[in-house]
Amino acid sequence: MKRRTTLLLLAFSIGILLFHETIFWDFTVDDAFISFRYAKNFTEGKGLVYNTGERVDGATNILWTILCAGIASLKFNIVLGSKIIGVLSSILALIASYLLINSVLQDKRFSILLPLFLSSTTIYSYWAVSGLEVPFYTLWLLLSLLFFIKEENSELKFPYSSLFLILLTLTRPEGFAIFLIFSVFKGMRAMSTVNGKGFLKWVGLYLLIIGIYLLFKKLYYGYYLPNTFYAKVITHSGRGPVNPSNTLVENARLVYHFVKYFTFPLLAICFIPFLYRKPNWKDGLLITIITFIFLYELKVGDEPNMHLFRFSAPIIPLLLLYVSEGMSFLFHASDSKKRMLSKSILLIMVICIMFSLASQTKWAIEYIKNNNLGQLQEMEMARWFRENTPLNSSILTFWGGLVPFYLEDRYVIEYNGILDEYIAHYGKTSEIKNLYIFDEIKPNYIIPDPYRPEFWNEKRFIDNYRKIDFPSNYHVGEGYLFQRITYE
């Protein structure tokens, strides 16, 4: 394929991507406001903290948070700024995906299929404008793979992939597990090529920078691991009581939704390359990363919008790489005398795949519509707090995002333990959490979750709190808010 044609198709892919992202532009996920609150406090000189004077490592995307702090320091709207950075990251990641597949595909003409498919993917566009780090993380993952392959092919001497893995780890903590996967493959290839010096240089650069970062976390927060690890993995306070049968059902649902979205035909095409060639070390690396990230999603991906795979979204370009390669083999397997017909069929298949990948757009639009209505009501609730409560008020909430971000310097307790050290480390049961909240914290206000009956039936809640009715000039809808009867 001519260079000019490739550039035009790449530009066309970026155009589709931008069009797709404008559909979801008004969406900002609640968790993004956790990072925004950390960034805002950091900009105001209060440190990388959620509550002033309380060091809890609740933002698992420190590099993204610091980037958001940079946006805020420029007096630019932090929500809008995060979306712009997300869009730019998604464009760069799309280009990186093209460069990656072009470095491994035999027939380079089919490399352009990957950015075309990726630009049509609902999951990719949806998270690009969510306010979270997903496209940023995806970019570092793709660049790590691209430069790692180039280094292993002796095209580059400097360990650039190690630098990108550092950025990956600083963006999300599971980046360290990705580094370990790379290290295993790097080590095996170093032994086969007797390149121990290059391996030590590659590993040493990563461990030096991440070691300094972990030391900072230990000195600043008191722990090497983020608070969310203890909440979701150790005590499960961030996920509710652990029930093996419920966990199994949740995992089955996620697998079902992933297969439903990606469709069996697309998944089948992913396996076609292995019918025509032998797997190599690059396949081993990609498949190991895909498997790890998807299993990680099964472990922690219990969010309301699990249907759109926040944690496993970065593996979509890798799966589409195999879809694109499978398409190339299907084309070459056709009768050479009927290539015009094969090209027509290929074009139809490409269009069908692009529409299939965009199939969840309608569902996402409906979700965003309902989500935005709820967020407007939450902003009105936050306005009520700012206008009717003192700055030293304490507020308990089940969601640590949007409302707390707009509460200025009021103290916020997050019931699930994602942002509270004690609940994350010790809140294995609702009884322990309620004892801590009602006997020690005694919040002035509570924004409860109507779907948590163990909280509603708590006697200390019933005896000590009364419901507040919002005045008509606050458009909160049916939002719930309770105030402690007597301040202590």
Mean pLDDT of the chain: 87
Q: How far is CA 417 from CA 173, 349, 376, in A?
A: 18, 47, 25
Please check the confidence at residue 190 and state whether its pLDDT lies above 70.
yes
Domain residue extents for the chain: 3-360, 365-484
pLDDT score for 285: 96
Residues 6+ apart with CB under 8 A from 416: 231, 237, 238, 239, 398, 400, 423
Q: For residue 92, which amino acid is it?
A: L
- For residue 479, name the pLDDT band (cuts at 50, 70, 90): low
Q: How far apart are CA 155 and CA 162, in angstroms?
A: 15
The kind and range of the H/E element at 378 are helix 361-388
Q: Which has the minimum average pLDDT: 105-109, 114-118, 260-264?
A: 260-264
Residues 6+ apart with CB under 8 A from 372: 26, 27
pTM listed for this prediction: 0.92
Q: Which has the minimum average pLDDT: 184-193, 240-249, 311-320, 376-385?
A: 240-249
pLDDT score for 97: 97
Please check whether residue 317 is in contact with residue 93, taking contact to mean a CB–CB distance below 8 angstroms.
yes
Identify which of 92, 102, 82, 166 has the alpha carbon closest to the alpha carbon of residue 124: 92
Please check the confidence at residue 228 and state whether its pLDDT lies above 70.
yes
- Condensed to tens digits (0 to 9), the pLDDT of residues 33-58 reads 999 999 999 999 999 999 999 999 99
pLDDT score for 245: 47
- Condensed to tens digits (0 to 9), the pLDDT of residues 443-478 reads 999 988 777 766 778 888 888 999 888 877 777 766
- For residue 334, name the pLDDT band (cuts at 50, 70, 90): low
pLDDT score for 204: 95
- Condensed to tens digits (0 to 9), the pLDDT of residues 393-444 reads 999 998 888 999 999 889 999 988 889 999 999 988 888 888 899 999 999 9
Q: How far is CA 240 from the centre of its chain?
A: 21
Q: Which has the minimum average pLDDT: 23-27, 96-100, 169-173, 356-360?
A: 356-360
Furthest C-alpha separation in the chain: 86
pLDDT score for 427: 85
Mean pLDDT, range 53-76, rounded to an integer: 93
Please check whether residue 320 is in contact with residue 112, taking contact to mean a CB–CB distance below 8 angstroms.
no
Please check the confidence at residue 16 and state whether its pLDDT lies above 80.
yes
Identify which of 123, 122, 99 has the alpha carbon closest to the alpha carbon of residue 297: 123
pLDDT score for 364: 82
pLDDT score for 366: 84
Identify which of 123, 125, 131, 124 has the alpha carbon closest to the alpha carbon of residue 34: 131
Beta bridge partners of 396: 413, 446
CB-CB neighbours of 132 under 10 Å: 23
Residues 6+ apart with CB under 8 A from 165: 140, 144, 175, 178, 179, 182, 206
pLDDT score for 185: 93
Mean pLDDT, range 258-285, rounded to an integer: 86
- For residue 339, name the pLDDT band (cuts at 50, 70, 90): low
CB-CB neighbours of 70 under 10 Å: 16
Beta bridge partners of 465: 484
DSSP 358-370: TTTHHHHHHHHHH
pLDDT score for 157: 85
